[in-house]
Amino acid sequence: MAVSAFRDGEYVPLNEVTVSVQSHAFQYGTSVFEGIRGYWDTAASDLLLFRPDRHYARLHRSARFYGMTLPYSVDDLCDITAELLVRDGVREDAYVRPVLFKDTNAIGVWRPDLTDSFVVFHVPMGKYLADEAIRCCVSTWRRPEGNAAPVRAKVGGLYAAMALARYEAMLQGFDEAITLTATGHVAEGTGENVFLVQDGRLVTPAAGEDLLAGITRECVIELAEAELGLEVVERSVNRSELYVSDEIFLVGTAAEVTPVAEVDRRLVGDGQTGPITADLKDLFSRVVRGRVAKYGHWCFPVRTQVPQAVRP
Ligand SMILES: Cc1ncc(COP(=O)(O)O)c(C=O)c1O
């Protein structure tokens, strides 16, 4: 399989896409990015991108924080990504990483002469977190506060803080960290949003907290309400609720729906995947693979989107 990338208007071999150590993005974290999953559909012989339109809309929003120029519409970006994957003949589950960054080689925290470069590449991707329920801790590192960092954008530099939380969790033998906001409310995982099950209802930190309100979160809320008839409450969540909820799960593009077995060495429920989590995990996995007709419009089949001439 060829491994290509799209860079600033051209499809090129991935190994020819380089970024200088002198680049502003490398030195100061001035990049915005997305992560989009593609699911291989054997029956249709096609790769289904999951909600690429929502991801690219968010990339456009993230770009605003640093006055970046992304000279492609959301539709263009979906088509570019489809063409890249089709050109490379991808026939397995994949993860697409678009990144827009300050590519100028320059020292200086901000300068008026910084220019932008846009790259899309892809890698094969299986599970991000474990398939079984995971063990989490509450991080001693707080999610940066919204007046101190661009918490509603996917900015490269912000992940230095999330990496610190995940590093600490792993050093202590946990699988993942759950961060709190500056005011001590539950924020999110290092790359996931958090849901709690309490007396048959779903509770999740409100989007107005200092967190990245993910696309998976929005899908899970819709599926829970529309398909499972569950009430979903978006509100501030206290740390102590993590110790007394019936079920907890994390959601994200990479993590999909991942059950949580323990928080800070206390079992969640009986430590097994709970019934509501199991139902949502199963439903979500069928939806992303295009097996639930009602949500077929969330899946973007790459081969049928590109011109015949590009198809292998
Ligand atoms: C910090 C953070 N929170 C939440 C999410 C989940 O977002 P999404 O479901 O859009 O992937 C991600 C992943 O992108 C993330 O990095």
In tens, the pLDDT along 36-77 reads 999 999 999 999 999 999 999 999 999 999 999 999 999 999
Mean pLDDT in residue range 292-297: 98
Which CA distances in Å does 227 have to 157, 217, 231, 253? 38, 15, 11, 20
What are 223's two structure tokens? 């599926």
Catalytic residue status for 127: no
How many Å apart are CA 51 and CA 68, to the nearest integer?
A: 23
> 152 or 309: which carries more pLDDT confidence?
152
Mean pLDDT in residue range 251-261: 98
Q: Which residues line ligand 1 (CB under 6 A)?
A: 35, 162, 188, 191-193, 212, 214-217, 252-253
Domain range 134-273, CATH architecture: Alpha-Beta Barrel (3.20)
If one residue of 176, 186, 193 were mutated to test the ligand 1 pocket, choosing by the most ligand atoms within 8 A of its CB, it would be 193
Is the Cβ–Cβ distance between 52 and 36 less than 8 Å? Answer: yes
Per-residue pLDDT tens over the stretch 132-191: 899 999 999 999 999 999 999 999 999 999 999 999 999 999 999 999 999 999 999 999
- What pLDDT, on the 0 to 100 scale, is given for residue 126? 86
How far is the centre of ligand 1, averaged over its atoms, from the C-alpha of 158 (Å)?
Answer: 12
Q: Among residues 80, 107, 91, 101, which one has the least CA distance to residue 9? A: 80
- Fold that domain 4-126+294-310 belongs to in CATH: D-amino Acid Aminotransferase; Chain A, domain 1 (3.30.470)
Mean pLDDT in residue range 285-299: 97
How far is the centre of ligand 1, averaged over its atoms, from the C-alpha of 190 (Å)?
Answer: 8
- What pLDDT, on the 0 to 100 scale, is given for residue 304? 82
- What pLDDT, on the 0 to 100 scale, is given for residue 198? 98
How many Å apart are CA 225 and CA 93, to the nearest integer?
A: 28
- What pLDDT, on the 0 to 100 scale, is given for residue 311? 65
- What pLDDT, on the 0 to 100 scale, is given for residue 2? 78
If one residue of 141, 216, 287 were mutated to test the ligand 1 pocket, choosing by the most ligand atoms within 8 A of its CB, it would be 216
pLDDT at 300 over 80: yes
- Taking the CA of residue 253 as reference, the ligand 1 atom at the shortest distance is 11
Confidence of residue 129 (pLDDT cuts 50, 70, 90): confident
DSSP state of 210: S
Is the Cβ–Cβ distance between 197 and 277 less than 8 Å? Answer: yes
**What are the extents of the domains in the chain?**
4-126+294-310, 134-273
- For every residue of 165-185, which 3-state class applies, written as one string? HHHHHHHCCCCEEEEECCCCE
pLDDT at 254 over 90: yes
- What pLDDT, on the 0 to 100 scale, is given for residue 130? 84
Beta strands in the chain (DSSP E): 4-7, 10-13, 31-33, 36-41, 46-50, 94-102, 116-124, 134-138, 176-180, 186-189, 193-198, 201-205, 232-235, 247-252, 256-263, 266-267, 299-301
Please return the burial class of 19, using the count of CB atoms within 10 Å of its CB with bins 0-12, 13-18 and 19+: middle
Per-residue pLDDT tens over the stretch 180-215: 999 999 999 999 999 999 999 999 999 999 999 999
Confidence of residue 307 (pLDDT cuts 50, 70, 90): confident
Q: C-alpha angle 22/30/140, rounded to 5°? A: 115
SS3 of residue 46 by DSSP? strand
| Closest residue CA from atom 11 of ligand 1 | 253
- Burial pattern 236-269, b for ≥16 Cβ within 10 A else e, equals ebeeebbeebbbbbbbbbebbbbbbbbbeeeebb
pLDDT at 28 over 70: yes
- What pLDDT, on the 0 to 100 scale, is given for residue 27? 97
pLDDT at 312 over 70: no
Per-residue pLDDT tens over the stretch 217-239: 999 999 999 999 999 999 999 99
